[in-house]
Amino acid sequence: MANQEHPLFPELKSMVAKVIGIDYVIDDFVRRLGDRDKAHLIDDYAEGKDTGIIDLVLVGNIDHYHLSDLSRKSERYIN
């Protein structure tokens, strides 16, 4: 587990996310959901823990069919 209190933690986390491309996947995913008011990254990934689960809280008028389709596609892409 990473030491989140270390002064370089935010920078290292950002570098790793850019290399992996997760930040791009999440941004693209949220952008495609249409009329949303807010999107929050929560739990493990937001805390810097890579457990293989990315939790998002979405607020707004979200198309549930489109959400399900994008979730499946993102899971395949991220593996």
Phi-psi region of 58 (alpha: psi -120 to 50; beta: other; left: phi over 0): beta
Question: How many Å apart are CA 43 and CA 75, to the nearest integer?
Answer: 18
pLDDT digits (tens, 9 = 90+) for 50-64: 787 888 898 988 888
Question: How many Å apart are CA 67 and CA 33, to the nearest integer?
Answer: 7
More confident residue, 78 or 26: 26
pLDDT digits (tens, 9 = 90+) for 36-51: 888 888 888 888 777 8
Taking residues 12-38, report their average pLDDT. Answer: 76
